[in-house]
Amino acid sequence: MIIIMRPNASQRAIDKVTKQVEAAGLQVHLSKGDEVTIIGVVGDKSKLHRSNIEISEGVDKIVQVTESYKLVNKKFHPEDSTVTVKDTQIGPDTFTVMAGPCAIESHDQLLSCAEEVKKAGATVLRGGAFKPRTSPYSFQGLEEEGLQYMEEAGRTTGLATICEVTSLRALDMAARYVDMLQIGARNMQNFELLKEVGRSGLPVMLKRGLAATVDEWLNAAEYIISEGNEHIVLCERGIRTYETATRNTLDISAVPVIRSKSHLPIIVDPSHATGVRAYVEPLAKAAAAVGADGLMIEVHPCPECASSDGPQSLTFDQFAKLMADLKPYVELAGRR
């Protein structure tokens, strides 16, 4: 931590800050420039509330030198992690495609999806049983009934399964039926839920919050890993910006940024990022080319009849074509 004093800070103010730091058992390194004095802090900074120094007399600003996340930080764990879900591995050597409907609507809908996405090459089946919807009057999900279909689909096809959980109740229920949990964008900073998912020990996919910085996202992952669960996959799904031509703005740079800051795998969800079916294919290729570890794609037997997110869902034929078209890109990236 570095404390930058104002140009006109008095010696008294500098001495006061110095004492505050030393009182917390830390050492200071003073550096007096022509214009400003800078106070470097050495030692375990968790003993010191950054924000309180910030309002001491004469302090201009504080610069944090080290990140607040530790266990997900690449600095302390340079090798990229691989997360195993059933028979699927998500990490630097593979390109994993998770596919399925936005919401589970019926036995037939889900089972037909499962068969088709497996045939096309996906290895994880997605499907929502608890739907966080902007309006209370929209379809909210089949809950346990949907989870039972997921369990059956996973059993009969061999696919791994993933389902979003939106509360501790949903988590307890889902943990009995699916192989991987998903934390959605709206719950990225639902810290109680993150801790509980951490305690569950189940593989988890953590979507980026709608307006979350990369740092906040990695700190959210730190909540999970600090409870002992390191089976975490990140998912970039678009952020909120002023642009309305797409539902969200896919921050594709987040893939190399995360790669440089963390060892966790990261996949891309082009369906939610754009909200437009026609853009899913080009963005899926871009994700493979940029170095993502996989994709999450929405597929529906009849997008026109979907109870949620129809416009961004691919038909079975479109999905099969996408997977075929993606193949050479995945090979170019040196993945299987």
Q: Quick one: 149 or 223, whose CB is closer to a second copy? A: 223
42 binds a second copy (CB under 8 A): yes
CA 80 to centroid of chain Cα atoms: 16
Sign of CA dihedral 168, 251, 116, 314: positive
Among 47, 169, 176, 336, binds a second copy (CB under 8 A): 169
DSSP state of 314: B
| Spatial separation of the C-alpha atoms in residues 92 and 95, rounded to whole Å | 8
Contact range with a second copy by CB under 8 A, out of 84-92, 113-121, 132-140, 228-236:
132-140
Cα 250 from chain centre: 13
Separation between Cα atoms, residue 303 and residue 272, nearest integer Å: 14
Contacts with a second copy in 281-320 (CB under 8 A)? Answer: 282-283, 285-291, 303-311
Using the contact rule CB under 8 A, the part of the chain among 24-32, 87-95, 114-122, 316-324 near a second copy is: 24-32
Answer for which of 18, 115, 132, 143 binds a second copy (CB under 8 A) is 132
Of 179 and 222, CB closest to a second copy: 222
Of 304, 203, 213, the closest CA to residue 254 belongs to 213
Rg of the chain (C-alpha set): 23
Residue 332 within binding range of a second copy, rule CB under 8 A: yes
88-96, 105-113, 142-150, 270-278 -> range binding a second copy (CB under 8 A): 270-278
Among 180, 214, 232, 297, binds a second copy (CB under 8 A): 214
Write phi, then psi, for 135 (nearest 5 degrees).
Answer: -105, 140
Query: What is the CA 49 to chain-centroid distance, rounded?
Result: 28
Give the nearer residue to a second copy in terms of CB position, either 98 or 283.
283
Of 177, 223, 316, 319, the one binding a second copy by CB under 8 A: 223
- Residue number, 157 or 308, with CB nearest to a second copy: 308
Closest approach of a second copy to the CB of residue 145, in Å = 18
Q: DSSP 3-state assignment of 233?
A: strand
The residue type found at 226 is S
- The least CB distance from residue 59 to a second copy, in Å, is 10
Torsional class of 269: left (φ above 0), alpha (ψ -120 to 50), beta (otherwise): beta
Looking at 48, 69, 109, 271, which residue binds a second copy (CB under 8 A)?
A: 69
> Least Å distance between CB 104 and a second copy?
16
Q: Which of 271, 274, 296, 330 binds a second copy (CB under 8 A)?
A: 274
Among 176, 253, 317, 324, binds a second copy (CB under 8 A): 253
Positions 89 through 128 that interact with a second copy (CB under 8 A): none
List binders of a second copy among 140-159 (CB under 8 A).
Answer: none
Q: What is the DSSP string of 56-116?
A: STTEEEEE--S-S--TTBGGG--SPP-EEETTEEESTT--EEEEE-SB---HHHHHHHHHH
Question: Can residue 24 be called a binding residue for a second copy (CB under 8 A)?
Answer: no
Total residue count of the chain as it appears in this document: 336
Q: How far is the CB of 317 from a second copy (least distance, A)?
A: 15
Angle between helices 144-157 and 107-120 (to 10 degrees): 40
Distance CA 109, CA 197 (A): 28
Binding of a second copy at residue 201 (CB under 8 A)? Answer: no
